[in-house]
């Protein structure tokens, strides 16, 4: 009975997420509702979904006047320009025919090109492009805006604070947690008993439990948010995975004991010439470990979203061959199948990142007995 219950929960969740993919399939601005049938259009659609954004676009439609309308809400834009800090709402970059609106803020002209904010050169009133569609009279600014990725990170942080606060309050009242704490406790025990203890050891694992729990739940929650209609793709941003990997890297290096460093720079029991030859290899291995962490998480999440969006695109590409109903049915069931896999991947990637982080930490704090 319990297995049947959880199977139903997973199926309903996948249905919600797959419907969310359809609800979010019009984020890419189109001039009309004509069929999307070229590989370039599909690629642009997928790239737009995967990229970060300065606003939330829930869905789009074309009104009776033929104008493309986008329903969503803006986010704060915070940029450092040649004349200091400028702040405004992203709604000022409203969509128009050419897609490049120039916003004038106290004499500083700003525009958004491919989700990046640029400052126009003095005297310029419009963006000029070369043959490769690169802006020739604008340069990037320091962008500190509250983007969709930042909102996702803040939301995940708030959910974690709420969940773990609830779990802590429950433990104060009773050794058996109540409410949402019952959901978190098995996962916390799983990270402790199946990840931290075996890889770090009984002596040192408690010191790193805070980091491992934070990384696990942070990645897992963000991966699940990425499957919702809101369209977060936080762990699919290379900057986020780089930061997570760097945390692991610095924790490993700062907690490495003398045996750890000895096995990198002067391996015991190895001839001197071989030691000299192995040092650069060991140093390279020390650097490739965080690289493997960031690439694995980034690539798997990005690939999963790209596949889901590609299957949604079947709705448009197969419209003539299968009809509207047939293309919707095929695309829906394919997206449902991939969404089931993506729910598993959301947990699996959080588990793998946490497992490898604990393994690297365990290698750094392990004590060796040399005879």
pLDDT in tens, 290-318: 999 999 998 888 887 777 777 666 666 66
pTM: 0.79
Residue pair 228/23 in contact (Cβ under 8 Å)? The answer is no
In which band, very low, low, confident or very high, does the pLDDT at 154 lie, cut at 50, 70 and 90? very high
Residues in the chain: 371
DSSP letters, 325-369, are HHHHHHHHHHHHHHHHHHHHHHHHHHHHHHHHHHHHHHHHH----
10: pLDDT strictly greater than 50: no
**Tokens linked to 185:** 């406790």
Q: Which residue has the higher pLDDT, 367 or 78?
A: 78
As a whole number, the mean pLDDT across the chain is 78
pLDDT of residue 331: 65
Q: Average pLDDT in the 12-34 region?
A: 44
370: pLDDT strictly greater than 60: no
pLDDT of residue 95: 53
Lowest mean pLDDT among 177-181, 221-225, 268-272: 177-181
**Tokens linked to 348:** 């699996």
Residue pair 200/362 in contact (Cβ under 8 Å)? The answer is yes
Residue pair 115/52 in contact (Cβ under 8 Å)? The answer is yes
Which residues are within 8 A (CB) of 346 and not within 5 positions of it... i.e. 6 or more apart? 220, 223, 224, 226, 227
Question: 100-123 burial by CB neighbour count: b if 16+ within 10 A, else e?
Answer: bebbebeebbbbbbeeebbbbeee
Residue pair 14/339 in contact (Cβ under 8 Å)? The answer is yes
């Amino acid at each position: 009975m319990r297995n049947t219950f959880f199977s139903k929960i997973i199926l309903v969740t996948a249905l919600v997420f797959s419907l969310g993919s359809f609800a979010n399939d019009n984020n890419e601005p189109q001039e009309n509702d004509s069929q999307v049938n070229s590989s370039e259009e599909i690629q642009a659609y997928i790239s737009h979904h995967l990229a970060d954004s300065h606003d939330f676009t829930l869905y789009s439609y074309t009104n009776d006047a033929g104008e493309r309308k986008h329903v969503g809400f803006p986010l704060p834009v915070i940029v450092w320009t040649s004349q200091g800090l400028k702040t405004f709402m992203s709604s000022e970059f409203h969509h128009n025919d050419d897609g490049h609106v120039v916003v004038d803020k106290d004499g500083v002209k700003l525009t958004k090109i491919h989700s990046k904010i640029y400052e126009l050169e003095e005297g310029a009133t419009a963006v000029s492009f070369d043959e490769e569609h690169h802006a020739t009279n604008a340069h990037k600014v320091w962008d500190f805006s509250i983007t969709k990725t930042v909102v996702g990170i803040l939301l995940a942080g708030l959910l974690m604070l709420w969940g773990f606060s609830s779990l802590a309050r429950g433990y104060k009242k009773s050794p058996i947690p109540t409410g949402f704490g019952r959901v978190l406790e098995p996962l916390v025990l799983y990270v402790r008993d199946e990840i931290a203890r075996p890889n770090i050891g009984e002596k040192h694992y408690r010191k790193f439990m805070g980091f491992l729990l934070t990384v696990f739940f942070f990645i897992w929650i963000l991966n699940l948010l990425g499957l919702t209609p809101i369209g977060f793709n936080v762990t699919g941003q290379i900057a986020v995975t780089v930061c997570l990997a760097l945390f692991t890297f610095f924790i490993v290096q700062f907690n490495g004991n003398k045996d750890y460093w000895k096995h990198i720079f002067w391996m015991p029991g190895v001839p001197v010439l071989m030691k000299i030859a192995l040092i650069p290899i060991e140093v390279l291995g020390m650097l490739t470990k965080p690289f493997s962490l960031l690439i694995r998480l980034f690539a798997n999440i990005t690939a999963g979203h790209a596949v889901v969006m590609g299957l949604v695109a079947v709705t448009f590409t197969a419209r003539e061959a299968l009809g509207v109903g047939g293309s919707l049915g095929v695309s829906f069931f394919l997206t449902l199948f991939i969404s089931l896999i993506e729910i598993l991947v959301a947990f699996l990637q959080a588990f793998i990142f946490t497992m490898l982080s604990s393994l690297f930490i365990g290698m750094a704090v392990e004590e060796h007995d040399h005879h």
